[in-house]
């Protein structure tokens, strides 16, 4: 499913009207009917308050009012006077006037006080004040309307997007309605999945309003859904062996940071690769070996600081010649000599690679060498992304889509910009928004597990774009399954490892297990 900017949605509406000859008033009617269905399904009480702005968003609210008039106690509040309405919204407002639906204009003296009083006793508020076209901060009076909505004890249903949220960035434009549920039309919008907007929408439902399917494809941003993730799962042929499922090389760890290497190694193996080589400093290899019995350990010369010695390159070259993918970074350290090691690896290694943690901080200094031609995946959190772009984390977070795209283009890599609704971007400007995960995963080591999964999928033959998407989705799904059993507060990275197998089962990889359970249940 694609995710749209406001302008993209506006063009879709225009094309539906101009090219497919679907009158705008029909699209508005369909939108209103979908809202009516949602309200009926939820079985709210008899009192319904609709707050309508001047645009099509307000027109959708008028349709709702018409369908419930006579069935519920409906009261419509308009943000502007009748003469300020145009087009399809005006048509629907005029119908309400003919029917005698109670309508109060909030421009009238004392109207706001009356609205505040009503909002304290209504059963449902329909927020049809502003839609996805909003791009400026709300005026003071509109902010007071929003404040009145938010202070009401009644549930709030937002039309398309909560009023005050920028559909493109998710930013709050002065003030924003805190909705319990949002019904959006045709396709979701970026502001539904970018914070802080994502925290205002409540439960999101995407509904069909009759826009032709041909108009709803070909966009650059999409949601990472269960069906998409399932389609990316590497095949597991019955006659396969460990060579079939790929050999991976992990370069990680330093004195005091053996845990990062262990988590990444365990995740790579849980991800399904056939063989993992774990290249770590000699001083910590006994620790790693005791924790990851299934990995083949490659002890490397180490520096006085306990990091991998830069002269260990020849050891790595010999090993990566037998591998399909390489990961560098978890617990690696930031010793200056490691800059030379990373740069040489990037220049000489011909296989797909994922860079994480300390490798990203080193990359911010060395830059991506022109010689690097093989697929590369970068996995920064906002702070690391800021160092890679020479900016501040706050600027990264202010426009995460733009930041992810800029990183992917500058470093000619697939980028996983971690955080709530993690983004995956490629150098062509495509972006996938992940839909799994929770705040319990915001804990040390979680990123190391993700790195191991990406490494595993690269080794199994997925492209960087595919491996990043599948790993991010599976990683988040494991976190969600863990949170169901353990809660979010006490979640640690090691818990994610325990639930990767269950995440695979949820995605349906082990179909023979499902078939066996089905047979057992029908016996």
Alpha-carbon distances of 453 from 248, 265, 276, 462, rounded to whole Å: 11, 9, 12, 12
Looking at the structure, tell me whether residues 208 and 281 fall in a common domain: no
Are residue 200 and residue 87 in the same domain, yes or no? yes
Q: The tokens of 180 are what?
A: 């319990």
Answer yes or no: is 523 within a domain: no
254 and 384 together in one domain: yes
Asked if residue 418 and residue 461 are part of one domain, the reply reads yes
Kind plus residue range of the DSSP H or E element containing 95: helix 87-99
Q: H helices within 393-461, ranges in order?
A: 393-398, 400-411, 446-459
Alpha helices in 277-427 (DSSP H): 285-291, 313-320, 337-348, 358-366, 382-389, 393-398, 400-411
38 and 157 in contact (C-beta within 8 Å)? yes
**Can you tell me the distance from the alpha carbon of 131 to that of 145, in angstroms, rounded to the nearest whole number?**
15
Residues 307 and 397 in one domain: yes
95 lies in which domain range? 6-219
- Report the candidate in 55, 126, 37 with the shortest Cα–Cα distance to residue 92: 55
Judgement on whether residues 244 and 119 belong to the same structural domain of the protein: no
- Per the DSSP assignment, residues forming a β-bridge with 355 are 328, 378
- Tally of domains in the chain: 2
C-alpha 414/C-alpha 404 separation (Å) is 9
Residue the block writes with tokens 């976190």 = 479
Report if residue 95 sits inside a domain.
yes
Domain annotation covers residue 231 = no
Q: What is the CATH number of the domain that holds 249?
A: 3.40.1190.20
Residues 18 and 103 in one domain: yes
Task: Kindly list the distances between the CA atom of residue 183 and the CA atoms of 18, 36, 260, in Å, as whole numbers in the listed order.
Answer: 25, 11, 42
Per-residue pLDDT 10s for the chain (523 aa) are 999 999 999 999 999 999 999 999 999 999 999 999 999 999 999 999 999 999 999 999 999 999 999 999 999 999 999 999 999 999 999 999 999 999 999 999 999 999 999 999 999 999 999 999 999 999 999 999 999 999 999 999 999 999 999 999 999 999 999 999 999 999 999 999 999 999 999 999 999 999 999 999 999 999 999 999 999 999 888 888 988 899 999 999 999 999 999 999 999 999 999 999 999 999 999 999 999 999 999 999 999 999 999 999 999 999 999 999 999 999 999 998 999 999 999 999 999 999 999 999 999 999 999 999 899 999 999 999 999 999 999 999 999 999 999 999 999 999 999 999 999 999 999 999 999 999 999 999 999 999 999 999 999 999 999 999 999 999 999 999 999 999 999 999 999 999 999 999 998 755 444 444 444 444 4
Neighbours of 485 (CB within 10 A): 11
- Looking at the domain assignment, is residue 225 inside a domain? no
Q: How far is CA 129 from CA 31, 60, 64, 107, 171, in A?
A: 15, 10, 13, 14, 17
Domain boundary among 188, 219, 250: 219
Note whether residue 522 is domain-resident.
no
CATH number at residue 123: 3.40.50.10260
Cα–Cα distances (Å) from 312 to 22, 303, 319, 331, 348, in that order, read 67, 10, 11, 17, 13
Q: Same structural domain for residues 449 and 370?
A: yes
- Whether residue 178 sits in one domain with residue 44: yes
Domain contains 232: no
Same domain, 349 and 204: no
| Domain edge (last residue) among 161, 188, 219 | 219
In a domain, 517, yes or no: no
Say if residue 195 is in the same domain as residue 67.
Answer: yes
Residues 486 and 362 in one domain: yes
Longest dimension (CA), the chain: 85
Between strands 221-224 and 47-52, the pairing is unpaired
Give 388-404 as a DSSP string. HHTS-HHHHHHTHHHHH
Q: How many CA atoms lie within 13 A of 515 on its CB side?
A: 4
């Amino acid at each position: 499913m694609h995710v749209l900017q406001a302008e993209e949605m506006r063009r879709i509406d225009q094309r539906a009207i101009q090219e497919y000859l679907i009158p705008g008033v029909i699209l508005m009617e369909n939108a209103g009917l979908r809202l009516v269905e949602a309200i009926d399904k939820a079985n709210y009480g008899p009192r319904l308050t609709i707050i309508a702005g001047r645009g099509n968003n307000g027109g959708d609210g008028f349709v709702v009012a018409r369908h419930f008039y006579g069935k519920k106690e409906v009261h419509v509040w308009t943000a502007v006077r009748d003469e300020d309405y145009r087009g399809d919204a005006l048509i629907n407002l005029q119908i309400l006037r003919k029917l005698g639906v109670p309508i109060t204009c909030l421009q009238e003296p004392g109207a706001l006080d009356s609205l505040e009083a009503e909002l304290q006793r209504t059963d449902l508020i329909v927020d049809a004040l502003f839609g996805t076209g909003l791009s400026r901060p709300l005026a003071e009076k509109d902010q007071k309307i929003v404040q009145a909505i938010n202070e009401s004890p009644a549930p709030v249903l937002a039309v398309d997007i909560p009023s005050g949220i920028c559909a493109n960035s998710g930013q709050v434009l002065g003030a924003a309605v805190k909705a319990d549920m949002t019904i959006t039309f045709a396709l979701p919008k970026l502001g539904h999945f970018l914070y802080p907007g994502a925290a205002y929408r409540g439960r999101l439902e995407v509904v069909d309003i009759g826009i032709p399917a041909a108009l709803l494809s070909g966009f650059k941003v999409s949601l990472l859904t269960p069906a998409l993730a399932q389609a990316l799962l590497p095949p597991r042929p019955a006659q396969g062996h460990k060579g079939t499922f790929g050999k991976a090389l992990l370069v990680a760890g330093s004195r005091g940071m053996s845990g990062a290497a262990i988590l990444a190694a365990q995740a790579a193996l849980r991800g399904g690769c056939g063989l993992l080589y774990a290249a770590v400093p000699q001083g910590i290899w006994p620790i790693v070996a005791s924790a990851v019995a299934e990995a083949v350990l490659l002890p490397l010369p180490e520096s006085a600081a306990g990091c991998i010695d830069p002269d260990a390159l020849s050891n790595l070259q010999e090993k990566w010649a037998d591998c399909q993918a390489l990961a560098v970074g978890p617990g690696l350290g930031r010793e200056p000599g490691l800059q030379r090691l990373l740069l040489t690896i990037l220049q000489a290694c011909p296989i797909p690679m994922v860079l994480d943690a300390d490798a990203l901080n080193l990359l911010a200094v060395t830059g991506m060498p022109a010689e690097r031609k093989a697929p590369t995946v970068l996995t920064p959190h906002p702070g690391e992304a800021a160092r890679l772009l020479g900016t501040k984390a706050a600027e990264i977070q202010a426009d995460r889509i733009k930041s992810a795209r800029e990183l992917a283009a500058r470093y000619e890599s697939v980028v996983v910009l971690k955080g709530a609704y993690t983004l995956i971007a490629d150098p062509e400007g495509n972006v996938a928004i992940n839909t799994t995960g929770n705040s319990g995963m915001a804990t040390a080591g979680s990123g190391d597990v993700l790195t191991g999964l990406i490494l595993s999928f690269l080794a199994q033959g997925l492209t960087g774009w595919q491996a990043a998407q599948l790993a991010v989705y599976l990683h988040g799904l494991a976190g969600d399954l863990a949170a169901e059993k353990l809660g979010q507060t006490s979640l640690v990275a090691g818990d994610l490892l325990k639930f990767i197998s269950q995440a695979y089962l949820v995605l349906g990889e082990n179909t023979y297990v499902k078939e066996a359970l089905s047979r057992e249940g029908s016996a």
